[in-house]
Amino acid sequence: MSSQSWRRYSNPAPYRAESAHLESPQHLQLELMRIAQLLEREPEAAARAAAEILRAHPAHPTALLLHARAQRACGSPQQAAAQYAALAAAQPDSAMIRLELGCALRAAGRDTEALAALERAVVLAPDLAEGWRELSLLYSARGDALACDTAHARFEALAPEGARLEEAVAALATQRYAAAEELLQRTLARTPHDVVALRLLAKAMEARENYREAERLLRECLRLAPGYSRARLDLVRILHEQQKGEPMLPLIERLLAAEPRNESYRTMQAIAYSLIGDTERALAVLQPLVEEFPQSEVVWLNYGHALRTAGRGEEAIAAYRKCAALKPDFGSAWVALANLKTFRFTPLDVDTMQRELAGEQLPDDERSQFEFALGKALEDDRDYAAAFAHYSRGNALRRAVVSYRGEVLTRFVERTRALYTREFFAERAGSGCPAPDPIFVVGLPRAGSTLVEQILASHSQVEGTMELPEIPKLARELARGDKSETGAAFLRGLEGLPATGLRELGERYLTDTRVMRRSSAPRFIDKMPNNWVYVGLIHLILPNARIIDARRHPLGCCFSCFKQHFARGQSFTYGLEDLGRYYRDYVDLMAHFDRVLPGRVHRVFYERLVEDPEPEVRALLAHCGLAYEEGCLRFHENARAVRTASSEQVRQPLFREGIDHWKNFEPWLGPLEQALGPVLAAYPSVPSVF
């Protein structure tokens, strides 16, 4: 019991000493204070000391409270509840006694009685924060989510969460993430169930792009405090960062049940609909929002995103411009305009961005976005040296907050090659789910994968979806909670799976991706480029799925990644050396699959596709077991929603001007060329060292 709580309990005035060792009220008061402090460290000793006082003062209410509290702490809630009940009968208007009675009854499993006691406590003292927190837990146990969240909101209003952890909050606000993490870990070592510390630590993990750990911390937070709406909203945002739209929706629905008009909740609902490919529902949520909250730059930004996905480019530009006008220092608006590859900034836009970038108070995340946007503007103006300088600074800011280590991927590729031999696959022939539905498009970002997807999605038998997270999710499950980055646990889990397990994983993949399918087309596309690391897993669980490797010239592909502002999830793109090493590892592993599974992966070279599309499209469709359709060459006429950075480009006919655009920056690409090594000279072939 803290000294503050002690002052709430203590009321010694009516009592006089009745024993030799407690000869005065002052001595009694000091002993009670000592017991209160002892309760926090040694509840058994506190119980013995309180019992000794009660032998001399059988009706002393503070001693009774301390004794009951100690009994509950020692695992005897029934006895504690009996004592609290007696005290409550004697002092029916004491909110603190009702609170303690409710806590003891809940610990004893007597939830109905506990609820009555706690509800009486907050009637007697509406500002009793602990009472609202305990009520929230009881309402959750009864399945009353709305009452749970409402009670916890009252608790949060009465007990501001930042006060105790002011130093950690300040460290987060000033982007001193390592310091914040250390402070919060220290707090959690003492009090592992501190939900505020868990939530703040998740924020530190988010800043470092460790989304898996942030998600774990927030789920633990909600397990301990089911009504903690701020943690629930944080979890929604972490799921958004991981592009997990479907699990966002039930969380948002619960938030909206308590606050149906909340702007942030409704905006996140629209984002979730976009993530699962339901652009129409996203727009249906956002259109009323821009009318209801016309001064919200966040609403306008997300409205622009949805319009862009729907192919309404001019309206998207207008929404982004409205966003930038409302908040000129909002980097997300400017980088959204830059990501519209067909958009050109005006000289006035450049002046505005340079002025905002010069501001000393601009956070690094916003600063990085301005750097990328200015790089795009200056590249369009053919000022390549200045453009490269901005791209470099933007990437450096991003690189400073991520913990990417290229050698980890290299070790994973080495382990994968060692496991996936011809014999390994031969032993498992006939396993997996035989359904031919998925077509996987893998490779690096900016390699032409969206173009390949758009061509395939223009076929009458194929539905385009988006970059689906299901394969990486299955890989994480196979790792069984192992947090190491080397992939050893994943590969061990995969190696130990029987044929039935492989089939179950394939069937689960089809079930989990069903929500993304909107048409009756028998085939669908999963365009997650990073799935190249999981080609072996895909082959084992879905042996009849088709796998397409979209490949582009190393310098063209890597530099295109370098100048693209990837907000999250592509940590290898923030440095030229990292990009070169990543591309080498990619080529290495794909060459291995060509050897051990010859013909399993069909490769599409971007340059060949642009130069002479028809034979490349025919070969692509033949590999997928699809008849040739003329509409696949008119892919730009396809009105489907496209969410990637190439969304505007794939709505235009093929043009070759962009193929060699990287050559404008060749003077500054030495580190990339060196990191690529023999892969660069050998392209489009594979160097013999692999």
CATH number, position 112: 1.25.40.10
Rounded Cα–Cα distance for residues 81 and 98 (Å):
10
Of 130, 158, 186, the residue at which a domain comes to its end is 158
Per-residue confidence (pLDDT) for residue 96, from 0 to 100: 86
**Same domain? 523 vs 641:** yes
Local confidence band at 3 (pLDDT 50, 70, 90 cut-offs): very low
Per-residue confidence (pLDDT) for residue 91, from 0 to 100: 83
Q: Is residue 280 part of a domain?
A: no
CATH number, position 585: 3.40.50.300
Local confidence band at 76 (pLDDT 50, 70, 90 cut-offs): confident
Span between the terminal Cα atoms of the chain, in Å: 66
Q: Which of 307, 326, 305 is nearest to 315 (CA)?
A: 307
Q: At which residue do the structure tokens 């622009």 appear?
A: 304
Q: Is residue 96 part of a domain?
A: yes
**Same domain? 339 vs 475:** no
Q: What is the DSSP string of 201-238?
A: HHHHHHHTT-HHHHHHHHHHHHHH-TT-HHHHHHHHHH
**Same domain? 523 vs 437:** yes
Contacts of 146 by beta carbon, 8 Å cutoff, 6+ apart = 257, 258
Does 678 have pLDDT greater than 70? yes
Rounded Cα–Cα distance for residues 444 and 560 (Å):
10
Local confidence band at 8 (pLDDT 50, 70, 90 cut-offs): very low
Q: Is residue 229 part of a domain?
A: no
**Same domain? 527 vs 615:** yes
Average pLDDT for 484-511: 89
Per-residue confidence (pLDDT) for residue 322, from 0 to 100: 97
Q: Among the listed ranges 195-199, 470-474, 644-648, which one has the minimum average pLDDT value? A: 644-648
- 264-306 residue pLDDT tens: 999 999 999 998 888 999 999 999 999 999 999 999 999 999 9
Contacts of 315 by beta carbon, 8 Å cutoff, 6+ apart = 307
**Same domain? 459 vs 599:** yes
Q: Is residue 242 part of a domain?
A: no
**Same domain? 148 vs 108:** yes
Does 15 have pLDDT greater than 70? no
> By three-state DSSP, how is residue 162 classified?
coil
Does 158 have pLDDT greater than 80? yes
- 203-241 residue pLDDT tens: 999 988 788 899 999 999 999 999 999 999 999 999 998
**Same domain? 548 vs 455:** yes
Local confidence band at 23 (pLDDT 50, 70, 90 cut-offs): low
Q: Is residue 303 part of a domain?
A: no
Per-residue confidence (pLDDT) for residue 477, from 0 to 100: 87
Does 636 have pLDDT greater than 90? no
Local confidence band at 485 (pLDDT 50, 70, 90 cut-offs): low
Per-residue confidence (pLDDT) for residue 484, from 0 to 100: 58
Rounded Cα–Cα distance for residues 528 and 552 (Å):
16
Q: Is the preceding omega at residue 12 within 30 degrees of 0, hence cis?
A: no
**Same domain? 387 vs 436:** no
Rounded Cα–Cα distance for residues 669 and 673 (Å):
6
Does 615 have pLDDT greater than 50? yes
- Look up residue 463 and give its two tokens: 């539905």
**How far out from the chain centre does Cα 435 lie?**
31
Of 158, 180, 196, the residue at which a domain comes to its end is 158
Rounded Cα–Cα distance for residues 434 and 496 (Å):
20
**Same domain? 483 vs 502:** yes
Per-residue confidence (pLDDT) for residue 234, from 0 to 100: 96
Q: Is residue 301 part of a domain?
A: no
Q: Is residue 302 part of a domain?
A: no
For the chain, what percent of residues have pLDDT higher than 70?
90
Answer whether 406's CB lies under 8 Å from 582's CB.
yes
Does 583 have pLDDT greater than 60? yes
Per-residue confidence (pLDDT) for residue 624, from 0 to 100: 97
Q: Which of 287, 277, 347, 348 is nearest to 315 (CA)?
A: 287
Per-residue confidence (pLDDT) for residue 657, from 0 to 100: 63
Q: Which of 606, 592, 492, 488 is nearest to 556 (CA)?
A: 606
**Same domain? 379 vs 429:** no
Average pLDDT for 601-628: 95
What is the residue range of 334's domain? 328-401
> Helices in 520-604 by DSSP H: which ranges?
535-541, 554-562, 576-596
Q: Among the listed ranges 176-190, 560-574, 576-590, 653-667, which one has the minimum average pLDDT value? A: 653-667
Of 401, 429, 445, the residue at which a domain comes to its end is 401
Q: Is residue 488 part of a domain?
A: yes
Greater confidence (651 vs 318) lies with 318
- 383-427 residue pLDDT tens: 999 999 999 999 999 999 888 899 999 999 999 999 999 999 999
* Domain count along the chain: 3
Answer whether 171's CB lies under 8 Å from 183's CB.
yes
Please give the mean pLDDT across all residues of the chain.
88
**Same domain? 369 vs 488:** no
- 37-50 residue pLDDT tens: 766 677 677 777 76
- Look up residue 601 and give its two tokens: 């992966």
Answer whether 96's CB lies under 8 Å from 122's CB.
no
**Same domain? 359 vs 437:** no
Q: The whole model's pTM is what?
A: 0.75
